[in-house]
Structure 1
Amino acid sequence: MPETMDLAIPPLMWAEAAPDDAFDHAVRRAQAGCDAGLVAHNLTAAQMQAALVLAPDVPLSKAVAMLPLCGVGLQSALGALAPPEVAVELDWNGGIRVNGGLCGGFRIRASTPEPDAVPDWLVVGFTLTLLPETDSPGDTPERTALYAEGCGDVAAPMLLEAWSRHTLNWIARWEDDGPAPLHAEWSGLAHGIGETVDVGAVRGTFLGIDEDFGMLLRDADTTHLIPLTRLLEPTS
């Protein structure tokens, strides 16, 4: 995307084209001390990448709620732009599903791995596949692309703008009302609740999430709580 493209990003945010991976670019900018609100993006014909720099004022164990929050923001944006029959679901680990097929995913990184510390910065980003990665989609039936699911009219810049708006609205709601509304919204979009899943060495039934979006996983003996901080990528 050209640097000069105008994007209707809401107040408190600004867009910046990334020369490479949008998530890595946002992390570098955050490490260099940029203000919160940066929306880094790299939009191509086949793929959409975006990442948001945040400056939490709560401990990391609470701030990681920005991962599911940004997912809900994307679902809300697609809900407004895509045909009504298109179903968007979210995996606990950040996966984005469109009509059941995996279509991309979210990532998260912070300035500190310590759950009780307030991070200087936190970055949440996603990659969304727009066009099929192969001419033979039957070879990868578990994966899909947005434009293969009836969303050919959803232009990436328009989706980026809508994601920014909906995400900002959800951040304001999370700050004003606490995690309960986000918890309820995400739970209604969650993929795999009630199913058997594997998380690391633990295999069990995905029962749902706790207040901080940790996964409740029941095996034959006990219920495990897997904190959302498990998904944080290491920061060099």
Structure 2
Amino acid sequence: MSQVPVFPPLMTGLAAGPANPFTIACDQAERGTDAGLIAWSVSPERLRAAIVLAPETPLASAMAGFIACGVGMQNALGALVPPETAVHLDWSGGIRLNGAHAGALRVAAATDDPSEEPDWLVVGMELTLSLPPDCEPGAFPDRTALDQEGCGGLDPVHILEAWSRHTLLWLNTIEDAEGRADLHREWEGLAWKLHDTVSVASDGTRIEGTFLGVDENFGMLLKTGGTTRLLPLSSLLEDV
């Protein structure tokens, strides 16, 4: 396995070792590090990474960076896993292989005010490479890992490198309306349970409804009963 990932120009790596790359990236962002920093960590069980972004738009629009990172991961896996392996994305950040959870994305920002331009935005990624040794196959049917889906031979560092390349391509497209429209179309083709019944967390509770689609800022349009609710993507922000 490769030891040190090679990232595209304008991106720099920071090995996190056993520490949490998401926490490290948020700390570095608060300290004023340049955009493009990727903190990363690889263990036999999981690949973790987090990228620092410096949006130049209000938070509501800047959250498209979270979507770009998710689509970048799907594109990276799509190019590396066997062709029969389906890779989808949950609206809330989940990464699914053949319908089961195999990882997730998370996000934090310098502000939670949708109208304010954040000084920084950090998107974290975690991918399950293998299940714990004491986990019996089938014990958790909604959970899986790369090695459970015939992808155990993939080098996680190669996945990380591919994620950085594909993510950079999408991040470069969201600066104009045409690029955002391209991202919108790409994401909708990958969205898990679009036009189906979903259960999502909102304000500390879970609500169920029909996932109708997303608005121009990728907020979820959720039909519950006779009402359609808009769940802004910024509602996924974590406190750090």
Aligned to 2:187: 186
**Letter of the aligned partner of 1:42 in structure 2?**
S
167-176 vs 80-89, which moves further: 167-176
Q: Show CA shifts across 1:32-79 (max 9, x none).
A: 111100011010111000100000000000111111110100011111
Aligned to 1:27: 26
Aligned to 2:72: 73
How far off its partner does 1:107 sit? Answer: 0.4
Native 8 Å contact 2:94 2:101 kept in 1: yes
**Letter of the aligned partner of 2:114 in structure 1?**
P
Q: Distance in 1 between matches of 2:225 and 2:162?
A: 43
Aligned to 2:231: 226
Q: Distance in 1 between matches of 2:135 and 2:122?
A: 33
Select which of 208, 213, 216 maps to 1:208: 213
Work out whether 1:103 is the aligned partner of 2:108. Answer: no
User: Matched residues, percent identical?
Assistant: 52
Aligned to 2:165: 165
**Letter of the aligned partner of 1:161 in structure 2?**
E
Structure 1 runs not aligned, ≥5 long: none
CA RMSD in angstroms comes to: 1.5
Q: Distance in 1 between matches of 2:10 and 2:105?
A: 22
**Letter of the aligned partner of 1:188 in structure 2?**
G
Q: Show CA shifts across 1:174-230 (max 9, x none).
A: 224341111100000000112222333532111111110000011112111110010
Normalised TM-score (structure 2): 0.93
Aligned to 2:146: 146
Q: Distance in 1 between matches of 2:195 and 2:5?
A: 40
How far off its partner does 1:118 sit? Answer: 0.6
79-88 vs 201-210, which moves further: 201-210
Provide the secondary structure at the position in 2 that maps to 1:96: strand
Aligned to 1:7: 5
Normalised TM-score (structure 1): 0.95
Provide the secondary structure at the position in 1 that maps to 2:40: strand
Q: Distance in 1 between matches of 2:92 and 2:56?
A: 23
Q: Distance in 1 between matches of 2:174 and 2:111?
A: 22
Q: Distance in 2 between matches of 1:212 and 1:54?
A: 17
Aligned to 1:94: 93
Native 8 Å contact 2:72 2:163 kept in 1: yes
Report the number of matched residues: 233
Native 8 Å contact 2:64 2:174 kept in 1: no
Provide the secondary structure at the position in 1 that maps to 2:49: strand
**Letter of the aligned partner of 1:180 in structure 2?**
A
The within-5 A match list for 1:52-71 is 52-71=51-70
Q: Distance in 2 between matches of 1:105 and 1:6?
A: 23
Q: Distance in 2 between matches of 1:23 and 1:182?
A: 24
**Letter of the aligned partner of 2:35 in structure 1?**
A
Native 8 Å contact 2:4 2:157 kept in 1: no
Q: Distance in 2 between matches of 1:8 and 1:178?
A: 26
Aligned to 1:217: 222
Q: Distance in 1 between matches of 2:196 and 2:60?
A: 26
How far off its partner does 1:153 sit? Answer: 2.3
Structure 2 runs not aligned, ≥5 long: none
